[in-house]
Amino acid sequence: MSGSSPVEPLPYSDDEVAAALGDRWKERLVSAYGWMALARAFDGRMQSLQRQGRIGFYGASTGQESVNVAAGLASSSDDWVFPGLREQWVAIVRGFSLEGYAHSIFGNSLDPAKGRQMPCHPTAREVHYVSMSSVIGTQISQAAGLAYALRHRHDRGAVLACFGDGATSSNDFHAGMNFAGVFRLPVVFLCANNQWAISLPVGRQTRAETLAAKAAAYGFPGHRVDGTDFVAVYAAIGAALRTAREDGGPTLLELLTFRMTPHSSSDDPGRYQPGDWAARAASHDPVLRLERWMVEHGLLSPDQQLAIQSTAEESVRAAVQAAEAASPPAPRTLTEDVFASPSSAPGGDAS
């Protein structure tokens, strides 16, 4: 996976990484790199399939792998995830199958949403991953509501509310943050700031020096973290989740990333991004930054790299084959999960 473009090195010694990641830190890094390599391989394959007309739409998480994998590894099975638009890999790291994700993209008969949801907007209730929505910011207030319910039920879990920089301009950002602050709810707000709300740069959204600074208005801490640094992101999310579970209230984490692909397969970033953006983003590639550190510290040999990449590509190939082999949703499923009983559907037998 190594490329010729220089990347910013991760500034850690072995001891510093061990302190940030805890026991079994070497295994955790290898696991993280494997997940990130899988995400990168899957994104590349899906973008290719969309251009071939084999899927209709795709929004890649390329450049955000550190955030998603760290959130998946740092959270527990008791926690809940309310995703934005690029957190599919949080669900997969938490146990949602890659094949299930592929089914949701193809919208086939094995898609849990029966083909009704937008592609790459999966739902995975079995891993406490709430369905994505293209409505910007609504998940923020919903996450605060579930955090209130967890508190009321004395459940042990916390909630991760994931969103991008664009969602900080939504009404639900204010409503969710304020509600969580007033009631000191067990929720961690994860803002993946990739610096572009589709075509709008973050500097056109706010005069605040950082998005993390907005937390002060709601009475809880906010921190800005390098979102392309897996070690820093994992440590920050882990600490915020511990605070939430120990009744310490919410935290806002602004995770600074660089969008490395178009906003979606329907976007042309060449129309609005500066000419040097791709090079700047490549220098902060989260996969290559982690890879470089692991190679330099003797945790990743060339043979291991090749094996991880081969495994990722084979997993992607198998998931795509399974999804393309499945039939379309049957017409009778159109009203399933919509009406209380088949007889309640229009034209159904009401007797």
CA 263, distance to chain mean position in Å, is 14
Q: Note whether 69 and 36 are within 8 A (CB).
A: yes
Rounded to whole angstroms, the Cα distance separating 223 from 139 reads 21
Tokens (6 digits) for 253: 């984490």
The helix (H) or strand (E) run that includes residue 254 is: strand 251-256
Annotated active-site residue 259? The verdict is yes
The helix (H) or strand (E) run that includes residue 172 is: helix 171-183
The helix (H) or strand (E) run that includes residue 141 is: helix 138-153
Contacts of 88 (CB under 8 A, 6+ apart): 61, 68, 101, 120, 122, 132
Burial of 247 (0-12, 13-18, 19+ CB in 10 A): exposed
Annotated active-site residue 263? The verdict is yes
Among the listed residues 103, 259, 284, 289, the single catalytic one is 259
Rounded to whole angstroms, the Cα distance separating 321 from 337 reads 27
Among the listed residues 116, 125, 272, 280, the single catalytic one is 272
CA distances from residue 74 to 45, 70, 83, 301 in whole angstroms, order as listed: 27, 6, 15, 26
Among the listed residues 86, 94, 128, 263, the single catalytic one is 263
Rounded to whole angstroms, the Cα distance separating 224 from 313 reads 34
Rounded to whole angstroms, the Cα distance separating 119 from 346 reads 27
Annotated active-site residue 272? The verdict is yes
Smallest Cα–Cα separation from 38: which of 75, 65, 77? 65
Instruction: List own/partner pairs for 206-209 with CB under 8 A and 24 or more apart.
Output: 206/168, 206/169
Strands (E), 202-244: 222-226
Catalytic residues: 259, 263, 272
